[in-house]
A = this chain, B = another copy of it.
């Protein structure tokens, strides 16, 4: 098994000497997610989040505090080199950070490199080579498919392979990037010809992102049993979607401009090592589902194929901000709703010889549950715009309006272990540019 093991860094009794790293913090010492950040007025560098602080990894490595074989990978302004390291080196780096941040003796040497997170800028953690978006959220596929094919929501291939498509890498941005409403072409109901203008059906998609660590060579598939060794870690991903553009353009070659104006990710990479205690059985395939082809089936992995991660999405409208009201949670769902595991996504993606590279990004596809409060997109929640969602303050939404701010969050939790958070994946919708 290539999955990282539980080690001393996961000990629930561990405490950090760093202030505010306890309690229900997103980033307790059991998490230690990696990211790229800039202290005020300084250039970008690698860091690790601990409580409300960020530890400068470049400085710590330069001071000789971290394992020598990891240090060269901590010098750049992306995490690609770090996550291309051998699993053993990554595990040793994590253990070293865990000790330094829990042992008071480490404090004097580390304190100069500790920055207040709220004062720092967070950036994309990786230089992304390719971005692939999957479609593993079976309830999403059913909810959306039902809008178009009430009698046959899932297509025949869905339960045989993890459907996916190539996405646009250049427009992936870190949390906080404004969501400029895109222009595009769409066909109004009953119209004879399409029109061009700002999208009227702007939507979000709640997804889990997967950062690829080590790659594979062109022509050499990654077997399912080795897939976990290629996972750097996870993040949150909002696959912003212009439904009107999408429905007009997507036949026969798939989504294009309805997606490529922006994709937002949470900036912290919650590492595969950190997630070790949250491995759970892959969801059982419902009775009657087709048998898996051997390259997608590994009884050994099936026992630990999923992640115990709760996901949620919250909306704060312009009026809520004006009224000083808190954001309203629109949906809660879980990674266990994915029909295909991350390992299956990787094995399938490379099964034709396609090469993954360090820094590649995979999206899970929208993760929805069966209930109305588990919809990972407004398209599902409003039934294609026909049943607007009534908000607690009396507003309603079929799709997103300018001034709406979305925030995705997630927590990995399992009995007996300290829960770890993903940070935020946030985006504020701003009005379309005036192109006239």
Closest to A167 in B: B166
Question: Contact: A129 with B165, CB < 8 Å?
Answer: no
CA distance in complex: A127, B227 (Å): 27
Question: Does residue A242 face the partner (Cβ distance < 8 Å to B)?
Answer: yes
Closest to A199 in B: B352
Nearest Cβ distance between residue A253 and chain B, in whole angstroms? 4
Question: Does residue A355 face the partner (Cβ distance < 8 Å to B)?
Answer: yes
Question: Does residue A318 face the partner (Cβ distance < 8 Å to B)?
Answer: no
Nearest Cβ distance between residue A64 and chain B, in whole angstroms? 33
Question: Contact: A354 with B171, CB < 8 Å?
Answer: yes
Question: Does residue A70 face the partner (Cβ distance < 8 Å to B)?
Answer: no
Question: Contact: A352 with B260, CB < 8 Å?
Answer: yes
Question: Contact: A160 with B293, CB < 8 Å?
Answer: no
Question: Does residue A356 face the partner (Cβ distance < 8 Å to B)?
Answer: yes
Q: Which residues of B contact A354 (CB under 8 A)?
A: 168, 170-171, 257, 260-261
- CB contact between A171 and one of B160, B187, B355 (< 8 Å): that residue: B355
CA distance in complex: A165, B242 (Å): 15
CA distance in complex: A351, B196 (Å): 10
Question: Contact: B253 with A252, CB < 8 Å?
Answer: no
Q: Which residues of B contact A195 (CB under 8 A)?
A: 293
- Partner-contacting stretch, out of A113-121, A243-251, A325-333, A394-402: A243-251
CA distance in complex: A56, B435 (Å): 44
- Residue-wise, chain A 177-194 has the 8 Å CB interface mask toward B (1 for contact) of 000101111010000011
Assembly stoichiometry (copies): 2
A window 339-380: CB within 8 A of B: 348-349, 351-357, 360
Question: Contact: A252 with B254, CB < 8 Å?
Answer: yes
Question: Does residue A17 face the partner (Cβ distance < 8 Å to B)?
Answer: no
Closest to A164 in B: B256
Nearest Cβ distance between residue A359 and chain B, in whole angstroms? 10
Q: Which residues of B contact A163 (CB under 8 A)?
A: 249, 252-253, 256
- CB contact between A169 and one of B129, B251, B433 (< 8 Å): that residue: B129
The verdict on A219 contacting B433 (CB below 8 Å), with A252-B155, A352-B257 known, is yes
- Residue-wise, chain A 223-267 has the 8 Å CB interface mask toward B (1 for contact) of 000000000000000000010010011111111111011100000
Question: Contact: A255 with B257, CB < 8 Å?
Answer: no
Nearest Cβ distance between residue A142 and chain B, in whole angstroms? 13
Chain A residues near B (Cβ < 8 Å): 129-130, 133, 135, 145, 155-157, 160-161, 163-171, 173, 180, 182-185, 187, 193-196, 218-221, 242, 245, 248-258, 260-262, 290-291, 293-295, 348-349, 351-357, 360, 433, 435
Nearest 5 Cβ contacts at the A-B interface: A254-B254, A182-B352, A166-B166, A165-B253, A260-B354
